[in-house]
Structure formats: C-alpha cells, structure tokens
C-alpha cells in the first residue's frame, strides 16, 4: 500500500483521546489539512478541539520540505501552546514518524508522533509530548480522509 498521508494534498478528520501525565483523559476531534507547492514544500495545519476541557483547542501549523530522497523531511512548526518548534520526519512503507523540539523553551519540550497506515483513507496516530526527559501528554486518534 502506498502512503497517502502527508504525501498527497488532502483533508483528514480525527477523533481520539488525549491523556495528561496525571492520567486524566479527554476526548477530542480535529481536522488536518495538507497542501503542497511545486517545489517540494508542504504546509500542514492541524486543529484539535477538546470536549469540555482545557486547553480547549490546539493549533499546529507546519511548513516543511521533502528531501530529494523522498523519504526524509524537515519542518518548522508553530504550536499554539508551546510556540516555535522545528523537527524532522521519515516516511516508511506503512508509517510516517516525526519528532519536534521547542526552540528557546526552558522546559525543553519536545514531541514524537507516528502515523500508521490502516488503508489509503485511514491512519492511526500515536502522539506524545515530553518535558525534558519525562513523558507528558499522550494522544491516540484515528484520522480519516474527508
């Protein structure tokens, strides 16, 4: 099966659960939009809305570039609660894996995400944030192409 998430223009709806470090959980829904320019630059915007809870919503704005190899990319990220981040990713046969780290952040915040292909129109997301060396929030979601 060929990867379609991130590599193709598209809109994805997500439905999942966010778990804080203290174990409290909250459901969320969201939307991710991916676009590409002709010179191998991509933009991705993700908005998550949380049911009756803080932070209420999160917004992530990515701008990145796919390397000539076609399986590696780097990106800049504007995170609504962390600020500016940068990161890198790898595109495998069934999985997209990426990590990011906050710039100028005393807490040394970072994140790690895996998007696993279920079928051409469905992905499973596993996401974790870290503060220094400790795990923070963990999220799991299903993404479906609109």
CATH code (residue 109): 2.40.128.20
Query: d(Cα 50, Cα 133) in Å, to the nearest integer?
Result: 26
Whether residue 141 is contained in a domain is answered as yes
| Residue 125 bridge partners (DSSP) | 115, 141
Whether residue 39 is contained in a domain is answered as yes
pLDDT of residue 1: 54
98 touches 113 (CB < 8 A): yes
**Residues in CB range of 36: below 8 A, 6 or more apart:** 8, 9, 42, 43
Whether residue 62 is contained in a domain is answered as yes
User: Could you give the C-alpha distances from 132 to 80, 129, 136, in angstroms and in order?
Assistant: 19, 10, 9
pTM score, two decimals?
Answer: 0.92
Whether residue 1 is contained in a domain is answered as no
Query: d(Cα 56, Cα 30) in Å, to the nearest integer?
Result: 12
Whether residue 70 is contained in a domain is answered as yes
- CA dihedral (142, 13, 19, 136) positive or negative: positive
The string of DSSP codes covering 98-124 is EEEEESS-TT-EEEEEEEEEEETTEEE
Query: d(Cα 10, Cα 132) in Å, to the nearest integer?
Result: 34
Whether residue 3 is contained in a domain is answered as no
pLDDT of residue 3: 77
Specify the 3-state DSSP secondary structure of 18.
strand
Whether residue 75 is contained in a domain is answered as yes
What average pLDDT does the structure give for the chain? 94
Whether residue 46 is contained in a domain is answered as yes
Residue 41: which domain range?
A: 10-145
The count of structural domains within the chain is 1
pLDDT of residue 40: 84
Each residue's pLDDT tens digit, 55-103: 689 999 999 999 988 899 999 999 999 999 999 999 999 999 999 999 9
């Amino acid at each position: 099966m060929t990867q379609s998430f991130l590599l193709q223009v598209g809109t994805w709806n997500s439905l999942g659960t966010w778990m804080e470090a203290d174990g409290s959980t909250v459901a969320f829904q969201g939307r991710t939009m991916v676009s590409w320019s002709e010179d191998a630059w991509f933009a991705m915007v993700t908005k998550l809305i949380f049911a009756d809870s803080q932070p209420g919503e999160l917004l992530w704005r990515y701008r990145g570039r796919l390397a000539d190899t076609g399986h590696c990319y780097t990106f800049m990220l504007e995170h609504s609660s962390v600020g500016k981040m940068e990161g890198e990713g790898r595109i495998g046969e069934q999985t997209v894996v990426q990590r990011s780290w906050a710039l100028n952040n005393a807490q040394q915040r970072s994140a790690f995400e895996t998007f696993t292909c279920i079928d051409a129109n469905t992905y499973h997301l596993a996401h974790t944030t870290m503060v220094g060396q400790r795990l923070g929030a963990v999220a799991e979601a299903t993404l479906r192409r609109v």
